[in-house]
């Protein structure tokens, strides 16, 4: 019998705790596939965030370290510098990366740390129950912005990929999403490129994934994906933000 | 062995490298800048990693990362900076990661002063961060001891898989004294099979985490940590007794004040007063048992606790002495160092009270 | 034997470094020694001082209230530390810069024209070495040969040519120390 599809060896045989329609599971799978294809499951070290992906180490089959909230880039800095020949990545949400860990991500990018950051931007705090994130859109409701985010009260949402792209240490930044198969394929390609450039020693690489959180957005799955494409992708444009190879 | 003259901070840095420390992550703060400065030059030359982090928080989390991937790592700071590092120290204790944190204490609270102080005693000896944990806390009183304890700290950390704190004060960091680099016999240490350094051919992945969201699991983990705490308490307690055999007045002090107390005791003896010094070298675990024995001696009349803080170690002295004998206190703080004459005077007063 | 000395002067006058020289020489002579600097904003310009203790026994308190000697390289140093000197102690005064005389009668004063001698020798930087010579000769705390060997070891390679100059400065200082 011919195998036409099988689960990546990059994931364990564990049931994921993510909600229906959540993008985390898909991105986990893509990371597992990319590292498997690169024959890196024995060498890869992943740094997990605080947030919904806090249990990622129970799902990935390679070694992982759970960082304190926002500190994954600092942890990854040490891991990569002491294991320079191994692929290292951080997996962080928007609260973790763009709020409490803003200093750590900016400085890791500034130093051109040779690891990859996978930034899951779903414009909301998931695990703590739908509070406003730095990436929450204007007008979007959150449990700490019950009437919707306003510019006066909370400022404008932060475009992290664009911000990090201004730093010379960042060699590759792309924004992707996983709402359908073509976008999912693009995401996988972007992830692979990021890891390849990391292993080539080029510098800091950054993949921002616009992600859906139907639970905290109070939407059906299809509705959430549609909202993501119409609203998030409008404010956070998809595509390559920076690629020093193409420059 | 050749005696060399070393400045405290630099001696601590060199001792760490000689002890196999392969990473240093730090952030500038007075009075310990000589440690990162020394590391920035020497660590890369000797095949190690130096990063000047964006903050103390980042620095301690870099230590966490290095430790989690199985590498000997250290960070250093001074009081306000060490407060920021408590996050990482708590996480390392939770994840059972070995690392060394140096605190060259200055005056507090807040920004305080940059002169020597001991106001971080509670923080250092009671865990310091959130949760139930302790760290072995080594308090050198001279540069030779700073060197020896720094090297020992890495072994203690690896043996128990727990962060270790070297608690020095600004004076120990800044002063120069002759030392010798002793031949060390490293402890037999367990292999770091738990490290997240790449799965290789292991049949499972290593996942370093402190999140145990299920309360019974978290409690079980805490109880495991507590067993380790008990082991550290049993095995790692150190102290020194100076002129103590026939002492009637016992001065209790650690770090720089213990040296002041020593000179005060010598002076008191010249006046016919039998004074001695009990000097904890580990302030956690605290040498309660030995101090209790001393308190029970008939010859001992009174204790005088001397600190560069306002009665923090005093709690531990009380716990040990437990009302057997009177305990008096003399402390300076905020960066002021007690003078010999002040300590001598306080001891004399205490002695007159009980005579 | 126990010497407790406070050395003080402007930053750049080399007081910290001759303090360190005393410790180095003491170590060669198998003595115990300690060196404590003043530190903080004042060392980035302004007055610098350090406390050196040399002893044949374990050193307790590394800071002293009543030093057996002080070395004052500038006026502020003399004003600040003269009152602290132990009765019977010695005050070393850089008389090239300090016009004042030691006012106390219970201490010995040694006046050393450090900068004038250094200028005579053609290098203002050795003023501190002149004072070191005076201190060693007047106190007998350390052997002359020890200091000479130390100076020879201090300047090596390109700087080796500075050895004779520093030795000369040391010897001129020693003359002042002896005759005081």
Mean pLDDT along residues C24-31: 96
Please report residues of B whose CB lies closer than 8 A to that of C20: 5, 176
The CATH number of B4-235, from 3.40.47.10, 3.40.50.970, 3.40.50.620, 3.40.50.300, is 3.40.50.970
* CA-CA-CA-CA dihedral for B298, B304, B307, B310, to nearest 10: 120
**Looking at the DSSP assignment, which residues form a beta bridge with residue C55?**
C2, C32
| Percent of chain B clearing pLDDT 70 (strictly above) | 100
Which fold would CATH assign to domain C2-179? Pyruvate-ferredoxin Oxidoreductase; domain 3 (3.40.920)
d(CA A195, CA A32): 12
Which of the residues C52, C60, C86, C146 would you substitute to probe the B interface, choosing the one with the greatest number of B C-beta atoms within 10 Å? C60
**pLDDT tens by residue, B98-157:** 999 999 999 999 999 999 999 999 999 999 999 999 999 999 999 999 999 999 999 999
Mean pLDDT along residues B151-167: 98
Q: C180 CB near a chain B CB, below 8 Å? A: no
Q: Flag whether C touches A (3+ CB pairs, 8 A cutoff).
A: no
DSSP-derived pairing of the beta strands A170-177 and A239-243: antiparallel
Mean pLDDT along residues A48-64: 96
**Inter-chain contact A71–B23, Cβ cutoff 8 Å?**
no
Whether pLDDT at C43 is above 80: no
Chain B residue at shortest CA distance from A75: B65
Mean pLDDT along residues C3-16: 93
Q: What is the pLDDT of residue C47?
A: 78
Whether pLDDT at C180 is above 90: no
**pLDDT tens by residue, C134-154:** 999 999 999 999 999 999 999
Q: C109 CB near a chain B CB, below 8 Å? A: no
Please report residues of A whose CB lies closer than 8 A to that of B206: 63-64
Chain B residue at shortest CA distance from A88: B198
Whether pLDDT at C39 is above 90: no
Handedness of CA B13, B14, B20, B23 (dihedral sign): positive
**Inter-chain contact B178–C23, Cβ cutoff 8 Å?**
yes
Handedness of CA C133, C134, C135, C138 (dihedral sign): positive
d(CA C95, CA C105): 18
Q: C29 CB near a chain B CB, below 8 Å? A: no
d(CA C69, CA C53): 10
Which of the residues C25, C39, C54, C58 would you substitute to probe the B interface, choosing the one with the greatest number of B C-beta atoms within 10 Å? C39
d(CA A83, CA B341): 55
For A99, other C-beta atoms within 10 Å of its C-beta total: 17
Q: Judge contact between B77 and B105, C-beta under 8 A.
A: no
Neighbours, chain A (3 or more CB pairs < 8 A): B
Least confident of B62-66, B141-145, C42-46, C65-69: C42-46
* Backbone angles phi and psi of C125, in degrees to 5: -70, -15
Residues in chain B: 355
Chain B residue at shortest CA distance from A72: B61
Q: A88 CB near a chain B CB, below 8 Å? A: no
* CA-CA-CA-CA dihedral for C34, C35, C36, C38, to nearest 10: 170
Q: DSSP secondary structure string, C96-112?
A: TT--PPP--SSSEEEEE
Cβ-proximal residues to B53 (8 Å cutoff; 6+ apart), any chain: A74, A107, B25, B26, B27, B59, B62
Please report residues of C whose CB lies closer than 8 A to that of B5: 20, 23-24, 27, 33, 35
**pLDDT tens by residue, A23-47:** 999 999 999 999 999 999 999 999 9
Q: DSSP secondary structure string, C86-98?
A: PTT-EEEEETTT-
For B73-180, list the strands marked E by DSSP.
Answer: 73-77, 99-105, 136-138, 163-169, 176-179
Res. C11 pLDDT band, cuts 50 70 90: confident
Q: C60 CB near a chain B CB, below 8 Å? A: yes
- Going from N- to C-terminal start, the domains of chain C cover 2-179
Q: Judge contact between A54 and A18, C-beta under 8 A.
A: no
The CATH number of B239-354, from 2.60.40.420, 3.40.228.10, 3.40.50.920, 3.40.47.10, is 3.40.50.920
In CATH terms, are B4-235 and B239-354 the same topology? yes
- The pTM (predicted TM-score) of the whole model is 0.95
- Going from N- to C-terminal start, the domains of chain B cover 4-235, 239-354
Sorted by where each starts, the structural domains of chain A and their CATH numbers stand as: 24-243 (3.40.50.970)
* Cα B113–chain centre separation: 20
Whether pLDDT at A87 is above 80: yes
Please report residues of A whose CB lies closer than 8 A to that of B57: 71, 74, 103
Mean pLDDT along residues A137-162: 97
Chain B residue at shortest CA distance from A65: B208
Mean pLDDT along residues B306-323: 98
Q: Is C125 exposed, middle or buried (0-12, 13-18, 19+ CB in 10 A)?
A: middle
Which residue has 């020879």 as its token pair? C152
Reading the block at residue A137, the tokens are: 């859109």
Which of the residues B176, B257, B268 would you substitute to probe the C interface, choosing the one with the greatest number of C C-beta atoms within 10 Å? B176
**pLDDT tens by residue, B213-238:** 999 999 999 999 999 999 999 999 99
**pLDDT tens by residue, B3-55:** 999 999 999 999 999 999 999 999 999 999 999 999 999 999 999 999 999 99
**Inter-chain contact C60–B30, Cβ cutoff 8 Å?**
no
Q: Judge contact between A120 and A23, C-beta under 8 A.
A: yes
- Count of B–C CB contacts within 8 Å? 65
Whether pLDDT at B186 is above 90: no
Q: Judge contact between A121 and A135, C-beta under 8 A.
A: yes
Q: What is the pLDDT of residue C45?
A: 55
Which residue has 């009765």 as its token pair? C87
Edge-to-edge strand ranges of the sheet holding C108-112: B4-7, B176-179, C32-37, C47-55, C2-10, C69-72, C90-94, C108-112
Q: What is the pLDDT of residue A247?
A: 72
DSSP-derived pairing of the beta strands B207-208 and A63-66: parallel
DSSP annotation of C82: G
Whether pLDDT at A84 is above 90: yes
């Amino acid at each position: 019998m011919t195998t036409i599809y099988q689960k990546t060896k990059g994931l364990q045989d564990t049931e994921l705790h993510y909600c229906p329609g959540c993008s985390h599971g898909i991105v986990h799978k893509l990371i597992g596939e990319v590292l498997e294809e690169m024959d890196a499951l024995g060498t890869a070290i992943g740094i997990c965030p605080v947030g919904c992906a806090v249990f990622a180490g129970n799902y990935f089959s390679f070694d992982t370290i759970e960082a304190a909230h926002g500190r994954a880039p600092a942890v990854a800095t040490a891991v990569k510098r002491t294991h320079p020949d191994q692929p290292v990545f951080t997996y962080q949400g928007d609260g973790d990366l763009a709020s409490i860990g803003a200093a750590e991500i900016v400085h890791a990018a500034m130093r051109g740390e040779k690891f990859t950051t996978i930034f899951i931007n779903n414009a909301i705090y998931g695990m703590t129950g739908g509070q406003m994130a730095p990436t929450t859109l204007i007008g979007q409701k959150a449990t700490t912005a019950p009437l919707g985010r306003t510019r006066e009260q909370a400022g404008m949402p932060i475009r992290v990929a664009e911000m990090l792209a201004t730093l010379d240490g960042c060699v590759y930044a792309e924004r992707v999403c996983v709402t359908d198969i073509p976008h999912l394929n693009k995401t996988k390609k972007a992830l692979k490129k990021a890891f390849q450039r990391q292993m080539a020693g080029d510098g800091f690489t950054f993949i921002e994934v616009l992600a859906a959180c139907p639970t905290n957005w109070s939407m059906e799955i299809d509705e959430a994906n549609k909202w993501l494409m119409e609203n998030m992708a409008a404010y956070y444009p998809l595509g390559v933000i920076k690629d020093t190879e193409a420059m | 062995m050749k005696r060399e003259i070393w400045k405290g901070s630099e001696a601590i840095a060199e001792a760490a490298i000689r002890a196999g420390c392969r990473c240093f992550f730090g952030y500038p703060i007075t009075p310990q800048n000589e440690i990162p400065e020394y590391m920035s030059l020497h660590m890369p030359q000797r095949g190690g990693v130096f990063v000047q982090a964006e903050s103390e928080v980042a620095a301690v989390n870099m230590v966490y990362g290095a430790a989690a991937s199985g590498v000997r790592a250290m960070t250093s700071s001074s009081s306000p900076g060490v407060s920021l590092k408590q996050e990482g120290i708590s996480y390392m204790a939770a994840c059972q990661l070995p690392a060394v944190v140096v605190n060259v204490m200055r005056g507090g609270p807040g920004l305080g002063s940059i002169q020597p102080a001991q106001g971080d005693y509670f923080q250092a000896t009671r865990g310091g961060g959130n949760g139930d944990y302790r760290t072995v806390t080594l308090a050198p009183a001279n540069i030779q001891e700073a060197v020896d304890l720094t090297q020992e700290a890495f072994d203690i950390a690896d043996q128990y898989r727990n962060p270790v704190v070297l608690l020095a004060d600004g004076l120990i960091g800044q002063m120069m004294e002759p030392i010798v680099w002793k031949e060390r016999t490293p402890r037999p240490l367990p292999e770091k099979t738990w490290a997240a350094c790449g799965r290789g051919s292991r049949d499972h992945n290593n996942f370093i985490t402190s999140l145990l969201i299920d309360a019974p699991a978290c409690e079980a983990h805490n109880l495991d940590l507590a067993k380790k705490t008990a082991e550290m308490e049993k095995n790692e307690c150190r102290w020194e007794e100076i002129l103590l055999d026939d002492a009637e007045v016992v001065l209790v002090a650690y770090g720089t004040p213990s040296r002041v107390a020593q000179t005060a005791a010598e002076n008191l003896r010249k006046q016919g007063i039998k004074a001695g010094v009990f000097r904890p070298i580990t302030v956690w675990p605290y040498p309660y048992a030995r101090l209790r024995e001393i308190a029970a001696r008939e010859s001992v009349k009174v204790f005088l606790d001397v600190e560069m803080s306002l009665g923090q170690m005093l709690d531990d002295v009380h716990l040990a002495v437990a009302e057997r004998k009177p305990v008096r206190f003399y402390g300076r703080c905020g960066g002021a160092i007690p003078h010999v004459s002040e300590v001598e005077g306080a001891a004399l007063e205490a002695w007159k009270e009980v005579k | 034997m126990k010497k407790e000395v406070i050395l003080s002067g402007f930053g750049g006058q080399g007081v910290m470094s001759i303090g360190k020289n005393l410790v180095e020489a003491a170590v060669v002579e198998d003595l115990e020694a300690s060196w404590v600097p003043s530190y903080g904003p004042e060392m980035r310009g302004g007055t610098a001082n350090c406390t050196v203790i040399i002893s044949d026994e374990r050193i307790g308190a590394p800071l002293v209230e009543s030093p057996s000697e002080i070395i004052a390289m500038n006026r502020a140093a003399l004003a600040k530390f003269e009152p602290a000197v132990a009765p019977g102690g010695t005050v070393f005064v850089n008389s090239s810069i300090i016009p004042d005389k030691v006012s106390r009668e219970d201490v010995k004063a040694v006046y050393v024209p450090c900068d004038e001698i250094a200028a005579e020798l053609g290098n203002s930087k050795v003023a501190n070495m002149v004072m070191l010579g005076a201190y060693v000769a007047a106190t007998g705390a350390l052997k002359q040969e020890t200091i000479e060997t130390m100076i020879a070891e201090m300047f090596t390679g390109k700087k080796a040519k500075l050895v004779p100059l520093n030795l000369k400065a040391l010897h001129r200082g020693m003359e002042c120390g002896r005759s005081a």
